[in-house]
Amino acid sequence: MLEITFNLREDGKVPYYVQLYRHIRQEIKSRHIPSGTRLPAIRRLSEHLRISRNTVETAYLQLISEGYVESRPRSGLYVVELEEDFSLSEEQAKQTVKRKVAADLKPKSPNIPEVRCDFRHGTNDLRHFPFSVWNRLTCQTMQEHSSLLSFYGDPQGELSFRIQLAQYLRQSRGVHCSPEQIIVGAGTQQLLLLLCQLLGTERQSVAVEEPGYNGAKAVFAQLKFQITPIPLDEDGINLEFLQRSGAKLVYITPSHQFPFGMILPIQKRLKLLQWAAENKGLIIEDDYDSEFRYQGRPIPALQGLDTRGSVIYMGTFSKSLSSAIRVSYMVLPEPLLEIFREIKILLEPTASLIHTDTLEQFMVEGWWEKHLRRMKNIYQKKHAHLLSLIVHYLGARVRVIGQYSGLHIVLEVLNGHSESELIRKAIENGVKVYSTTPYWINPDLESPPRILLGFAKLSEIEMEDGIRLLQEAWA
Ligand SMILES: Cc1ncc(COP(=O)(O)O)c(C=O)c1O
């Protein structure tokens, strides 16, 4: 049985998974590991090298994605047959690897150092994506439901998929809706565009959280809506400002405010619904990542409290499954549904029927529930680990904003540097962190800078690397 043993550098300059991936790649290219060899199981190798399973898994995924290794169902990972130009002499292979490694490590320009950790927001941890199940179900869709493939599908999304979705939304998010109220689309922005069309010219102004999701504001701005920013209190949108704004439409992220992460408490939710009732207002509730709440009871969607049809509920599979799948949905109250029915004939679906049918089977067979539970555990551990790293390495120089939910955190940095200085210093030390300024209409120049850190894709080791680099950069 193949063993992999080599010297792991522990100086922190190159992450372990990169070292492991490069070592195996070199061994394959130089044919020390011949084609057809089965790689050691993740657990065995992680125990052998005393590194985490995530590290081994990430290295393996990289080898798969570059075509050195393939996964054989229920059997393991095998080294593939290399093409001719890979069959270099050992010396040639070493030279090629050296050149490639050097190129990989070389800064793209003298001023841009290698990125060793990227806290990018909007990513997923695909190391835990059930690829084999998804592939099987996609094949099933292509074969057993092949009759579907010559159609565009229902502009609203297939009814059978919407039935699954309605059941999930009720059970998991407390959303009260029938499958007929759900519109499936390829992303929140696409659905917002459609929604604005349904709202028509009457509601040409919209109130938004300040700061708030720029993707939504971009849609409103493109459609020439007048956008009114409403400041946030510690517990979410300031309702007095909303009242005074005279707006009749508000876009809001009550279950995990984007980007600051606070949760709108029940009293404020009820008051917001009262505002809608008194002002003939409409609330667009974007529930984008609410599956991931790590402390306390789950907070049901605002839509579930609404008895007057004032809430348009929006959600997405981008956080919980993969942003590349592009399946999102909205739930329309009856009056808007009537307008939708009138124009439905003119529309084609935007989400792929192949993906939604696969997702439907994924839900029917119970994989979705399992996957969600698994990802919640994984993200919860990552979230807790990130918080402990922040306390350990950054201590009192920062304050974490947000409430134990979602796939990102916001750091308020109290060392006197500006936001752009903090980001520049981080990049110079090989770590990418992100500005929250784009989420403001009128950026807040008074408060200490707030920096956005996404963590979904990073392993615990990568996060530790990243926070340590931030400590050095911001010292
Ligand atoms: C608040 C909010 N809503 C929606 C989305 C994206 O949704 P989708 O992928 O469905 O377009 C994001 C993405 O980061 C987001 O931050």
d(CA 306, CA 346): 30
Closest residue to atom 4 of ligand 1, CA basis: 288
d(CA 27, CA 84): 16
pTM of the entire structure? 0.77
Alpha-helical runs (H) found in 223-329: 239-245, 266-279
Amino acid at 413: V
Look over the chain and give the mean of its residue pLDDT values, rounded to a whole number: 89
Closest residue to atom 2 of ligand 1, CA basis: 288
d(CA 441, CA 230): 10
Amino acid at 252: I
Look at strands 249-252 and 205-210 and give their pairing: parallel
Q: What is the pLDDT of residues 189-242, one digit of tens each?
A: 999 999 999 998 766 899 999 999 999 999 999 999 999 999 999 999 999 999
State whether the beta carbon of 214 lies less than 6 angstroms from ligand 1: no
Q: Label residue 436 exposed, middle or buried (CB < 10 Å: 0-12, 13-18, 19+).
A: buried
Amino acid at 364: V
CA distances from 136 to 73, 131, 142, 292, 327 (A): 10, 8, 10, 27, 19
d(CA 300, CA 269): 11
* Beta-bridge partners for 79: 69
State whether the beta carbon of 474 lies less than 6 angstroms from ligand 1: no
Query: Which of 277 and 76 is assigned the larger pLDDT?
Result: 277
d(CA 278, CA 386): 43
Q: Which of 2-6, 42-46, 199-203, 310-314 has the highest mean pLDDT?
A: 310-314
Return the best residue to mutate from 123, 183, 188 for the ligand 1 pocket (most ligand atoms within 8 A of CB): 188
* Beta-bridge partners for 401: 410
Task: Dig out the tokens for 77 from the structure.
Answer: 């990972």
Whether 93 has a pLDDT exceeding 50, the answer reads: no
Whether 30 has a pLDDT exceeding 60, the answer reads: yes
Task: Dig out the tokens for 220 from the structure.
Answer: 């409103």
Residue 341 CB neighbour total at 10 angstroms: 12
Return the best residue to mutate from 288, 330, 356, 439 for the ligand 1 pocket (most ligand atoms within 8 A of CB): 288
Q: Report percent pLDDT > 90 for the chain.
A: 67
Alpha-helical runs (H) found in 80-147: 90-105, 131-144
Whether 50 has a pLDDT exceeding 80, the answer reads: yes
Task: Return phi, psi of residue 12, to 5°.
Answer: 80, 5
What pLDDT, on the 0 to 100 scale, is given for residue 70?
82
Q: At what angle do helices 460-474 and 16-29 cross, to 10 degrees?
A: 120
Look at strands 282-286 and 249-252 and give their pairing: parallel
Q: State the distance from the centre of ligand 1 to the C-alpha of 193, rounded, in angstroms.
A: 14
Closest residue to atom 3 of ligand 1, CA basis: 288
Whether 31 has a pLDDT exceeding 90, the answer reads: no
d(CA 365, CA 129): 16
d(CA 291, CA 183): 20
**Nearest to 289, CA basis, from 466, 133, 123, 462:** 123
**b/e map 297-336, b = 16+ CB within 10 Å:** eebbbbbbbbeebbbbbbbbbbbbbbeebbbbbbbbbeeb
d(CA 243, CA 247): 7
Query: Which of 302 and 27 is assigned the larger pLDDT?
Result: 302
d(CA 314, CA 19): 42
What pLDDT, on the 0 to 100 scale, is given for residue 105?
41
Q: Which helix (H) or strand (E) holds 410?
A: strand 408-413
**b/e map 159-186, b = 16+ CB within 10 Å:** eebbbbbbebbeebbebbbebebbbbbb
What pLDDT, on the 0 to 100 scale, is given for residue 9?
84
d(CA 76, CA 448): 50
d(CA 237, CA 267): 12
Closest residue to atom 14 of ligand 1, CA basis: 122
183: region left, alpha or beta (phi > 0 left; psi from -120 to 50 alpha): beta
Q: What is the pLDDT of residues 410-459, one digit of tens each?
A: 999 998 899 999 999 999 999 999 999 999 999 988 899 999 999 999 99
Q: Which residue in this structure is represented by tokens 């390829």? A: 186
Q: What is the pLDDT of residues 396-405, one digit of tens each?
A: 899 999 878 9
Q: State the distance from the centre of ligand 1 to the C-alpha of 326, rounded, in angstroms.
A: 10
Task: Dig out the tokens for 462 from the structure.
Answer: 């990568």
Under a CB-based contact definition with an 8 Å cutoff, are residues 133 and 63 in contact?
Answer: no
Report the nearest atom of ligand 1 relative to the CA of 328. Answer: 10
Residue 234 CB neighbour total at 10 angstroms: 7
Binned at pLDDT 50, 70 and 90, residue 388 comes out as: very high
Query: Which of 396 and 315 is assigned the larger pLDDT?
Result: 315
Query: Contacts from 157-165 at CB under 8 Å and sequence distance 24+?
Result: 157/182, 157/183, 157/184, 157/185, 157/329, 157/349, 157/351, 157/356, 158/353, 158/356, 158/357, 158/360, 160/360, 161/356, 161/357, 161/359, 161/360, 164/360, 164/363, 164/364, 165/329, 165/363
